[in-house]
Amino acid sequence: MNARYTEFHPRWYRPRMPVFWWVGRRSYLIFVLRELSSVFVAWSVVFLLLLVHAVSQGGQQYQQFLNLSRNPWMLALNIVALAFLVFHAITWFTLAPQAMVVRLRGKRVPRSLITGAHYAGWALLSALAAWLILG
């Protein structure tokens, strides 16, 4: 059935969602920014792949990549991307306990523990990455 057409009530008022429906409310704005952050997550993956490719091609290519990264606009883009990545991770970790119902000995694991476990995992992987690169 076509919901737009209603035989007996042609005069219902059907409000339209304004284009900027997400501006006026904090939770909607955060949601749209979180959705937008996925573009920057994708960009970070592309940037990482470009780095790996440059490293595999040898010293000259790697130097070119470093020069490209030093570019002010590239630097600005990556700073924005980092900010969105952190925003993405934090909002995601905050939402995780709502989706995960973990039970231990019949009792539901508290939300803070699930969020905490995510942060611990993040810290652990970051430490591992730092050790691999700097160590």
Output the DSSP codes for 40-56. HHHHHHHHHHHHHHHHH
Figure out which of the listed residues 31, 41, 75, 129 binds other proteins, where binding follows CB under 8 A: 31
> Does 12 sit near other proteins (CB under 8 A)?
yes
User: Residue 12 or residue 73: which is nearer to other proteins going by CB?
Assistant: 12
**Contact yes or no for 70/92 (Cβ under 8 A):** no
Tell me the closest approach of the beta carbon of residue 49 to other proteins, in angstroms: 26
> Does 29 sit near other proteins (CB under 8 A)?
no
> Does 28 sit near other proteins (CB under 8 A)?
yes
27 vs 29: CA distance, rounded Å: 5
Instruction: Give the end-to-end CA distance of the chain in Å, rounded to a whole number.
Output: 65
Near other proteins in 48-67, by CB under 8 A: none
Angle between helical axes of 111-134 and 72-99 (0-180°, round to 10): 150
94 vs 116: CA distance, rounded Å: 10
Tell me the closest approach of the beta carbon of residue 59 to other proteins, in angstroms: 43
Mark 88-127 with x for binding to other proteins (rule: CB under 8 A) and - for no binding.
-------x--xxxx----x---------------------
Tokens representing residue 61 in the block: 């290519």
Residues that bind other proteins (CB under 8 A): 1, 3, 6, 9, 11-15, 17, 21-22, 24-25, 27-28, 31, 35, 95, 98-101, 106
